[in-house]
Structure 1
Amino acid sequence: MRSKYFLSVGLLVFVLLALNCQRQADFGTSPVPVSKAAGEIVSLSPQPLVTVNFGPESMTFWPYTGIDFSGIPQDPLNFIVVGESDPQNIRSALLSLDGDRTAFGFPDAFPFNATWTEGVGGVQTTYAEPEGWIGGSVQLFSGPYDPLRFHLRLFDAGDWTLGGVHFEVLIPGTETHQVLSWELAEQLLAVDLLRSGLLDGAIPFVQSQQINPAPYKDIPAIIYNGLPVELRAAIGGPLGDVTDPVPILSDGKATIFNAAESFGFTPGKFKEFSVINFNQVIPKPFCSSGPFDYLLVSGPITLRQLVLVTPSGNYVSQFQAVGHLDLTPVNPLTNPPTPIGETYRAQVLEHHKSIITEQNSLTSNFQMQIEIPPSGPFHGKLVIKVKIGPNGPVQEQVEVICD
């Protein structure tokens, strides 16, 4: 199944990357020098906010994640944990499990028999009252980075923990994942929290009212048509090929998990190292001369992750991505895209950090992309900084300098 998937999807990556790069392409399309920066921002609440009740308790929050503080939705929040809801407690419960879910109807086959491990992905934000903006301080994966995995994020909102979980596939030759299902991931998480013994025996979970759209977002047709039939069936999609994007299934509700047991924490250290060989045509992400400004980007990106839980229970997660890439201007209207300029170099750096202590939490993200040399027609650099905490203050800085 795996080789079949890669052969069919690998030819179609370019279009998906163009979709994923659209937001970045908004930075700096002018040929004149541009500098855009913002320091500490006012923590205004995004809209809409929803209120969810569990017994006599309630919480008001934004039912989405974002990648900044703009209020632009990224993913839906699709689960909530009440009771013993500390993110470290949820993490410990999931990490304690094996991959046998057959008693609940899941097959003993990849990716449904994978175990949960420490994970890292893009830093995301959400909003809850009275906490304000909060960051996804804990991330877990069930399944490897490549090709398929379930991806979970936990947001510490005080008395409750908000969460988002989805099932996704790695786009070959990139570090980008495409979401395939919200609903399947929510079901697998429910099974695992039941298996762990974390949940209350009398009322393990209930459903909220609808809090976000259903379905939510789409899978591009060219990506969907590359999926094996078995995987299409698993995510509840049409079995045949399609011409239109396929909606990503969700019921728009959040599962409210009632956690009654305390797993505490286990001190230790987790390390992971991997290399992705990037080799794709993408829209120029910044300092573009126009909508047909595309680059063939190739070269290795090194990924390093460290998660440390101290004997006192402090949680520290760090992730770093570093790459020196070759950039070749190409004509995207030819098939395959043909070079139209000389190859030059770029350096990319990304660093995420999450810290949770008994009193404080902090989440930060730093991204830097520099074309080498940074001076020259339509060359420049992009720097993005996002910081949340400790205890509320938020900061976002975006700087684009184009020559």
Structure 2
Amino acid sequence: MEKVRIGIVGLGNMGTGHAKYLVKNEVKGGVLTAICEPRADRLEWAKENLGEGVKLFDNLDDFLASGLIDGVLIATPHYDHPETAVRAFQAGLHVICEKPAGVYTKQVRQMNEAAEASGKVFSMMYNQRTNPLYKKLKDLVSSGELGEIRRTNWIITNWYRSQSYYDSGGWRATWAGEGGGVLINQDPHQLDLWQWTIDMMPKRVRAFCYFGKHRNIEVEDDVTAFVEYENGATGLFVTTTGEAPGTNRFELSGDRGKIVVEDGKLTFWRLRVSEREFNETYKGGFGQPECWKCEIPVEGTETGHMGITQNFVDAILHGTPLIAPGAEGIKGLMISNAIMLSTFTDNWVDLPIDEDLFEQHLQEKIKNSKSSKEAGSFKTLDV
């Protein structure tokens, strides 16, 4: 195989963006050959802008069976990601899926099992993993520079959304249309990076989600979550779409200092000796370890969505390791589901979560949603 023929399912904002760089041949070894989209106006746009070499479909079965594609890029509404992926794997195709992996982990676990059984390449569109800031942070943690993690704090409140944004589609910010609010729509990248950079998942969560606190919506728009890790470390995740100006600050405290990622910079307050060693040997009164403030140089360019797609193509053609393996999509979603389940049950939630219990609560929310699932789904593709 010299080229990977890519077909896109879903031509909304994200699918359109992917189509534009693919049709310009900006992904080496990748070529856009097909689009699957039920809306006539979006197919007309594709016909006018993507060229005759891109075959257009309004039916998923025909698209998957066309023989025109080697890999599928899924950019449909959240609920449809897992089932669309399963059908693509069953058709013998590679898959790259937009975030989030799905709405609930039980569904995503089935997708992961189908991927493993197929033996095909499976990637998630976690483009923030290409951000040099977070790549460097992960390197500092994994190399031991920070020592053992003691605390993780992420304040991510710069997701401001007005009421007019939510009013722009009947499916927006509804349980049936999107399956959640800020956690499932805006925060999947941060929830992924939270666990990816430190290579640790929480062992339990206690969270407080507020539904329609700042806007007239069904789902959560203000969240505070406290987590505990196996090694005794703790963490805090604070997010909202109703705050202006917002903050994006990720702080890690370890045995050898503190690292902060904020405003495009990575700052390391590095202890000359570890806190543990200082505590064991110091015999004075109000002393503390000597600390150096270091502005860590961060090299490289964020390649974003196109970088993840290039990595997907390279994995198929050359066996290049994936930046964001698809099976890892369940991790950030597990944290998201745990946060929500803690609020639903008003209690601590252990990870991995009780997936049946979460689905039970979610289905109850969907049943009472003002939107129907069909309002936001790819229903005409029979997904």
Q: Which one has a larger percent helix, Structure 1 or Structure 2?
A: 2
TM-score (norm 2): 0.22
Q: Which one has a larger percent strand, Structure 1 or Structure 2?
A: 1
Structure number with greater CO (CA < 8 Å, separation at least 6) is 2
TM-score (norm 1): 0.21
